[in-house]
């Protein structure tokens, strides 16, 4: 298919890219921009490992075409570190044992960020409901919940 | 006793920052210039002869760089087990026959994934279909189609027997004759799958000097190297398997897989790096799932519940090749033998070839299903005898100091304490009594218990772990270990051990891991021996480095090495804090005065030091493990008797893992296993019809999601300790602990509803049908 010239704004930087229009945002982030933090685990929108934020909202980048993401602010896990400092959620995930194999972690942290951005003091149930689309096979979600709760009450 | 500074503490994981920031590189992330994408063509038939393969059209497709079939290989077979009794039975690419839907027939390398995919559709394979068989008991019948006509099998009156384990002791008939009560039941496990989030993936890069570099999503590089080198006909030193982070494995990524072989061979053919990543659909349809076992259980007890005799028959649907099927029938014997004392036992296990995909270990490797059978029946017996489920378990539980029937010594065992404490903490007896009094209520609560035991490291290739601890000029430390961190935290706990032995901070240790060329051998993250075997190797390496440091420091400080202590990269004379030198100074002194010795500590360890080989898979004779872990778990459930829906509300695990090196990591292992048991008991099932997989996505195959999170409680029963300079005996926590929970859930469902489900999973309709049956009565 004929390539199209597009501009993507990712983690505050603009990138001009020539891509085939059928390519997903996940493919372009990973293969063209080298941002491999977002992962593919199912490719069909069932697991949440590919979650990134578009204008602050979590989306499944495996089901989103790169051309659809033009003119929007895309945030990936790589964009959460500011001035060498980890985001409080990243710190809490490490401290509370919320990471094991780590494959779901990027999507999980970004989704958690959007949950807290929308509602800084969510209940346990609201957090678990919000994370329903992010599968994790290692942790049973217990420590993930601990980490997010800790951030919501101001601990890291 | 000296207080520990690092071991026993919940220090954050070493790889936490890399993983939390998205920088950790997994096999799927690997890229090299000139990289090609590989794809695999799979058999559409469960059983067929391959008459001809025409790859010419695929080869002519622009962008295709290589196509391989069985003819391009050396035709060397491989297997999870490779022994004289069980020689390898699987070609890395099918030669003249396919035996399951999804078996690898050809592979393509092309400049992108789309072209590779298109090329697959241009390969023409002529098949002649053969009769197939899918059910293990049908496959055992004399008129069943023969799946491996020319391959050596175990001689049995049954057909398609890939392996058999037979053992026993005492006088089984007398045991039953002396019994007050004898029960016979049959329990069936379902086909489950691992659902590692990172699909199977391999990245291979061959250069014309003859060197093959491989990154692969696995559970340890050394077994991969051995099997790749053997099947490719390369010397071991020309195959380098390197570390990549692993996105989950749970038993599903251990021995050689065809795509690892194909990526390697395609790279050898093209001289370019080749990456193969399975789609999730491929993983569901063609990868190795767990072992669905049938357990026939006849048990005799005294009036007071003491076990007198047990006859166990296990049938495993092994799939088209042996895989780990012959191991699981061995292990199931062990999972019967460990937890309860059985004076008279007869055990037979059959692993049966069928035209289904090959099977792999899955966390617990048979234990969850086996314990589901034994502990469900234990509750049934207790009820018939009018004994409490806690008391009957206490009466039969293994105790410290016992010699097992295979000769293994149970040096330490906290099972009795586990049962007592978990019962006390959950107020088991009260709740259990209440559970039975809810007749007529829609929503009912139930409580149930299961116990389990597991070995901690056994002998299987590569049998041992070694480690190197190097001092750097500034006094920081590098640990070289072959261990692969698959999420369980191997690099973290091994670093804690180095920190403890040497008195350096966690951040002073850099780990170089899981690289067959630069790191010493390691048994792998799949035989439940990481903390015990690799941990002790690292401990010995670190204490060797400390000994050398102290030798140098003693001279410099004019003190005895025995009087020295190390802390924060400084060596002090005990009692005189003023007299000290830094690690950095000690290293410099060693180089200056000991002919350049930069201080390198070495250590190696093996389980069962003096035992020549692994136990017999056929007869169970021979030692199995140095260390056994024990646990008792309690499940509390809520059942909606109108819908049959079961909710696992709370899981409590009392566990004897020796001692936890890192409590938060141990908790993480328990939580993950409780979650996996929840799925195992209640929902998960790979559905197949005539060898074809029907559940091909996470929508069809439900694993627990966040909303299903179970409240998880832990009770540590500490039976071992860590002391400097002495090898320790901590136990496994990676897989045994899942294994009491499935039974606990089934028993809790019974407590709530009076419905006994003997086939997993406990689907709502099974409960509703059970309730209906009960009403009829």
The answer to whether B310 and B173 have CB atoms below 8 angstroms apart is no
Q: Could you give the 3-state DSSP secondary structure of residue B371?
A: helix
Interface mutation vs chain B, best among A95, A137, A146, A151, most B CBs within 10 Å: A137
The model's pLDDT over B583-629, given as tens digits with 9 standing for 90+, comes to: 999 999 999 999 999 999 999 999 987 777 789 999 999 999 989 99
Minimal C-alpha gap between B165 and chain A (Å): 32
Q: Give the Cα-Cα-Cα angle B221, B227, B232 (nearest 5 degrees).
A: 120
Say yes or no to pLDDT of B155 above 90: no
Cα B23 to Cα A76, A105, B20, B27, B493: the distances in Å are 12, 11, 8, 13, 21
B118 touches chain A (CB under 8 A): no
Q: Could you give the 3-state DSSP secondary structure of residue B736?
A: helix
Picking from B15, B675, B697, the nearest residue to A42 by CB comes out as B697
Residue in the block written with tokens 């379902």: B190
Say yes or no to pLDDT of B324 above 70: yes
| Paired tokens of B259 | 């795509």
Provide, as residue numbers in chain A, all residues whose Cβ is less than 8 Å from the Cβ of B698: 42, 46-47, 135
The span from the CA of A137 to the CA of B669, in Å, is: 11
Over residues B68-82, the mean pLDDT reads 97
Q: What is the pLDDT of residue B121?
A: 98
Residue window 528-587, chain B: list those with CB within 8 Å of chain A: none
The span from the CA of B768 to the CA of B161, in Å, is: 37
Provide, as residue numbers in chain A, all residues whose Cβ is less than 8 Å from the Cβ of B20: 77, 86, 90-91, 93-94, 99, 102, 105, 109
User: Could B16 and A93 be called an inter-chain contact, meaning their C-beta atoms sit closer than 8 Å?
Assistant: yes
Minimal C-alpha gap between B199 and chain A (Å): 6
Q: What is the pLDDT of residue B609?
A: 79
Over residues B24-48, the mean pLDDT reads 98
The answer to whether B185 and B377 have CB atoms below 8 angstroms apart is yes
Provide, as residue numbers in chain A, all residues whose Cβ is less than 8 Å from the Cβ of B22: 35-38, 76-78, 105-106
Band (B693; pLDDT cuts 50, 70, 90) = very high
A154 Cβ neighbours under 8 A, 6+ residues apart: none
The answer to whether the Cα torsion of B550, B554, B555, B557 is positive or negative is positive
CA B126 from centre of chain: 38
Picking from A30, A109, A140, the nearest residue to B672 by CB comes out as A140
Which residue on chain B is closest to A52 by alpha carbon?
Answer: B22
CB pairs under 8 A between A and B: 177
Quote the strand ranges of B29-153, DSSP E: 36-42, 48-54, 64-69, 97-98, 104-110, 124-129
Say yes or no to pLDDT of B87 above 70: yes
User: Could B487 and A135 be called an inter-chain contact, meaning their C-beta atoms sit closer than 8 Å?
Assistant: no
Provide, as residue numbers in chain A, all residues whose Cβ is less than 8 Å from the Cβ of B196: 101, 103, 137
The span from the CA of B574 to the CA of B584, in Å, is: 19
Say yes or no to pLDDT of B284 above 80: yes
Over residues B347-373, the mean pLDDT reads 97
The model's pLDDT over B192-201, given as tens digits with 9 standing for 90+, comes to: 999 999 999 9
ipTM: 0.99
Q: What is the pLDDT of residue B241?
A: 98
DSSP state of B591: H
Minimal C-alpha gap between A135 and chain B (Å): 6
- Please spell the DSSP secondary structure of B402-429, one letter per residue: PBPTTS-B-----HHHHHHHHHHHTTHH
In terms of DSSP H, where are the helices of chain A?
A: 25-27, 88-95, 105-118, 124-130, 142-152
Interface mutation vs chain B, best among A50, A100, A112, A147, most B CBs within 10 Å: A100
Region of B333 (left: φ > 0; alpha: ψ -120 to 50; beta: rest) is alpha
The span from the CA of B79 to the CA of B94, in Å, is: 14
Q: What is the pTM of this model?
A: 0.97
Which residue on chain A is closest to B701 by alpha carbon?
Answer: A46
Provide the β-strand partners of residue B53: B125
The span from the CA of B646 to the CA of B533, in Å, is: 40
B246 touches chain A (CB under 8 A): yes
Residue window 619-678, chain B: list those with CB within 8 Å of chain A: 664-665, 667-668, 671-676
Return the C-alpha torsion angle B657, B662, B666, B672, nearest 10. -160
Say yes or no to pLDDT of B2 above 70: no
The answer to whether B291 and B366 have CB atoms below 8 angstroms apart is yes
Provide, as residue numbers in chain B, all residues whose Cβ is less than 8 Å from the Cβ of A91: 20
Q: What is the pLDDT of residue B431?
A: 98
Provide, as residue numbers in chain B, all residues whose Cβ is less than 8 Å from the Cβ of A140: 671-676, 704, 709-710, 712
Picking from A41, A93, A135, the nearest residue to B198 by CB comes out as A41
Over residues B9-15, the mean pLDDT reads 97
Minimal C-alpha gap between A22 and chain B (Å): 12
B57 touches chain A (CB under 8 A): no
B253 touches chain A (CB under 8 A): no
Picking from B20, B246, B675, the nearest residue to A93 by CB comes out as B20
Minimal C-alpha gap between A114 and chain B (Å): 16
Q: What is the pLDDT of residue B724?
A: 86
Look over chain B and give the mean of its residue pLDDT values, rounded to a whole number.
Answer: 96
Provide, as residue numbers in chain A, all residues whose Cβ is less than 8 Å from the Cβ of B279: 43
The span from the CA of B525 to the CA of B513, in Å, is: 12
Which residue on chain B is closest to A90 by alpha carbon?
Answer: B20
- Extract the residue ranges of chain A whose pLDDT is less than 70: 156
Which residue on chain A is closest to B35 by alpha carbon?
Answer: A31
Q: What is the pLDDT of residue B725?
A: 84
Say yes or no to pLDDT of B153 above 90: no
Provide, as residue numbers in chain A, all residues whose Cβ is less than 8 Å from the Cβ of B16: 93-94, 99
The model's pLDDT over B386-432, given as tens digits with 9 standing for 90+, comes to: 999 999 999 999 999 999 998 899 999 999 999 999 999 999 999 99
B589 Cβ neighbours under 8 A, 6+ residues apart: B552, B553, B555, B556, B581
The span from the CA of A20 to the CA of B8, in Å, is: 53
Return the C-alpha torsion angle B454, B459, B461, B464, nearest 10. 100
The model's pLDDT over B551-565, given as tens digits with 9 standing for 90+, comes to: 999 999 999 999 999
Q: What is the pLDDT of residue B611?
A: 77
Task: State the distance between the two ends of chain B, measured CA to CA, in whole angstroms.
Answer: 63
Among the listed residues B298, B333, B329, B408, the one whose alpha carbon sits nearest the alpha carbon of residue B168: B333
Q: What is the per-residue burial (b if ≥16 Cβ within 10 Å, else e) of B474-493?
A: ebbbebbbbbbbbbbbbbbb
The answer to whether B241 and B225 have CB atoms below 8 angstroms apart is yes
B707 touches chain A (CB under 8 A): yes
The span from the CA of B332 to the CA of B368, in Å, is: 10
Provide, as residue numbers in chain A, all residues whose Cβ is less than 8 Å from the Cβ of B28: 36, 39-40
Say yes or no to pLDDT of B574 above 80: yes
User: Could A97 and B487 be called an inter-chain contact, meaning their C-beta atoms sit closer than 8 Å?
Assistant: no
The model's pLDDT over B437-466, given as tens digits with 9 standing for 90+, comes to: 998 999 999 999 999 999 999 998 999 999
User: Could B19 and A105 be called an inter-chain contact, meaning their C-beta atoms sit closer than 8 Å?
Assistant: yes
Q: Give the Cα-Cα-Cα angle B621, B625, B626 (nearest 5 degrees).
A: 130
Say yes or no to pLDDT of B1 above 70: no
The span from the CA of B358 to the CA of B291, in Å, is: 9
Residue in the block written with tokens 């790749």: B228
Which residue on chain B is closest to A38 by alpha carbon?
Answer: B22
Picking from A44, A78, A101, the nearest residue to B21 by CB comes out as A78
User: Could A103 and B26 be called an inter-chain contact, meaning their C-beta atoms sit closer than 8 Å?
Assistant: yes
Band (B258; pLDDT cuts 50, 70, 90) = very high
Minimal C-alpha gap between A113 and chain B (Å): 13
User: Could A99 and B13 be called an inter-chain contact, meaning their C-beta atoms sit closer than 8 Å?
Assistant: yes
């Amino acid at each position: 298919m004929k390539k199209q010239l597009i501009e993507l704004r990712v983690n505050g930087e603009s990138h001009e890219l020539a891509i085939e229009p059928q390519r997903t945002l996940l493919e372009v982030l990973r293969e063209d921009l080298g941002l491999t933090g977002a992962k593919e685990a199912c490719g069909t929108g069932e697991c949440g490992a590919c979650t990134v934020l578009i204008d602050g909202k979590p989306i499944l980048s495996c089901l989103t075409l790169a051309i659809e993401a033009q003119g929007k602010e895309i945030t990936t896990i790589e964009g959460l570190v500011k001035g060498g400092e980890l985001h409080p959620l990243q710190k809490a995930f490490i401290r509370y044992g919320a990471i094991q194999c780590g494959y779901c972690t990027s999507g999980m942290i970004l989704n958690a960020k959007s949950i807290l951005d929308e509602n800084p003091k969510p209940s346990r149930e609201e957090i678990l409901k919000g994370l329903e689309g992010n599968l994790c096979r290692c942790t049973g979600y217990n420590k993930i919940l601990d980490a997010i709760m800790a951030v919501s009450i101001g601990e890291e | 006793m000296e207080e520990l500074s690092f071991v026993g503490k919940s220090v954050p994981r070493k790889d936490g920052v890399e993983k939390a920031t998205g920088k950790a590189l997994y096999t799927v992330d690997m890229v090299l210039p000139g990289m090609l994408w590989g794809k695999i063509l799979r058999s559409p038939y469960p059983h067929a002869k391959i008459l001809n393969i025409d790859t010419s059209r695929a080869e002519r497709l622009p962008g295709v760089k290589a196509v391989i079939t069985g003819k391009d290989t050396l035709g060397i077979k491989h297997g999870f087990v490779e022994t004289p009794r069980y020689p390898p039975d699987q070609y890395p690419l099918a030669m003249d026959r396919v035996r399951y839907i999804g078996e690898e027939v050809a592979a393509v390398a092309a400049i992108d994934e789309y072209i590779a995919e298109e090329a697959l559709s241009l390969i023409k394979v002529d098949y002649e279909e053969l009769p197939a068989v899918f059910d293990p008991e049908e496959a055992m019948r004399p008129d069943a189609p023969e799946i491996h006509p020319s391959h050596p099998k175990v001689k049995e009156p049954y057909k398609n027997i890939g392996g058999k384990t037979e053992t026993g002791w005492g006088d089984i008939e007398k045991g039953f004759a002396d019994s007050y009560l004898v029960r016979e039941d049959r329990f069936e496990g379902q086909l489950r799958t691992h659902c590692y989030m990172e699909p199977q993936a391999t990245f291979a890069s061959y250069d014309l000097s003859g060197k093959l570099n491989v990154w692969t999503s696995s559970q340890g590089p050394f077994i991969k190297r051995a099997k790749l080198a053997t099947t490719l006909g390369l010397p071991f030193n020309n195959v380098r398997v390197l570390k990549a982070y692993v996105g989950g494995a749970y038993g599903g990524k251990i021995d050689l897989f065809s795509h690892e072989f194909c990526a390697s061979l395609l790279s050898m053919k093209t001289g370019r790096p080749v990456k193969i990543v399975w789609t999730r659909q491929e993983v569901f349809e063609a990868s190795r799932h767990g072992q669905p076992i049938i357990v026939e259980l006849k048990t005799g007890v005294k009036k007071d519940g003491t076990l007198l005799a047990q006859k166990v028959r296990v049938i495993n649907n092994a799939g088209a090749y042996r895989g780990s099927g012959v191991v699981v029938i061995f292990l199931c014997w062990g999972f019967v033998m460990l937890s309860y004392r059985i004076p008279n036992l007869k055990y037979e296990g059959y692993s049966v070839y069928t035209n289904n995909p090959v099977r792999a270990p899955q966390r617990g490797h048979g234990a969850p299903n086996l314990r589901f059978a034994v502990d469900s029946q234990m509750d049934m017996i207790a009820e018939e005898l009018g004994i409490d489920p806690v008391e009957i378990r206490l009466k039969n539980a293994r105790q410290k100091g016992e010699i097992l029937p295979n000769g293994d010594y149970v040096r330490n065992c906290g099972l009795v304490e586990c049962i007592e404490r978990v019962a006390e903490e959950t107020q088991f007896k009260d709740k259990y009594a209440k559970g039975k009094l809810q007749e007529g209520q829609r929503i009912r609560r139930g409580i149930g218990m299961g116990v389990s035991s597991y070995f901690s490291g056994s002998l299987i290739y590569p049998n041992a772990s070694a480690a190197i601890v190097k001092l750097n000029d500034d006094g920081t430390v590098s640990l070289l270990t072959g261990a692969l961190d698959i999420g369980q935290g191997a690099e973290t706990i091994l670093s804690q051990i180095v920190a403890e032995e040497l008195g350096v901070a966690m951040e002073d240790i850099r780990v170089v891991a899981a690289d067959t060329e630069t790191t010493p051998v390691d048994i792998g993250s799949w035989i439940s021996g990481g903390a015990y075997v690799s941990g002790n190797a690292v401990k010995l390496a670190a204490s060797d480095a400390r000994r050398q440091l102290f030798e140098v420091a003693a001279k410099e400080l004019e003190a005895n090495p025995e009087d020295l202590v190390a802390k924060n990269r400084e060596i002090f004379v005990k009692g005189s804090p003023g007299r000290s030198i830094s690690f950095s100074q000690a290293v410099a002194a060693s180089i200056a005065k000991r002919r350049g010795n930069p201080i390198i500590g070495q250590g190696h360890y093996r389980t069962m030091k003096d035992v020549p080989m692994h136990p017999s898979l056929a007869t169970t004779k021979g030692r199995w493990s140095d260390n056994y872990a024990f646990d008792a778990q309690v499940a509390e459930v809520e059942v909606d008797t109108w819908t049959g829906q079961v909710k696992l509300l709370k899981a409590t695990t009392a566990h004897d893992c020796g001692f936890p090196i890192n409590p938060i990591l141990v908790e993480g292992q328990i939580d993950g296993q409780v979650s996996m048991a929840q799925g195992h008991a209640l929902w998960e099932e790979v559905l197949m019809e005539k060898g074809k997989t029907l559940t091909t996505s996470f929508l069809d195959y439900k694993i627990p999601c966040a909303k299903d999170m179970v409240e998880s409680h832990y009770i540590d029963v500490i039976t071992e300790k860590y002391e400097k300079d002495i090898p320790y005996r901590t136990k496994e926590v990676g897989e045994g602990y899942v294994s009491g929970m499935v039974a606990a859930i089934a028993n809790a469902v019974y407590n709530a509803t009076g419905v006994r489900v003997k086939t997993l999973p406990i689907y709502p309709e099974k409960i509703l049908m059970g309730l209906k049956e009960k009403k009829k009565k």
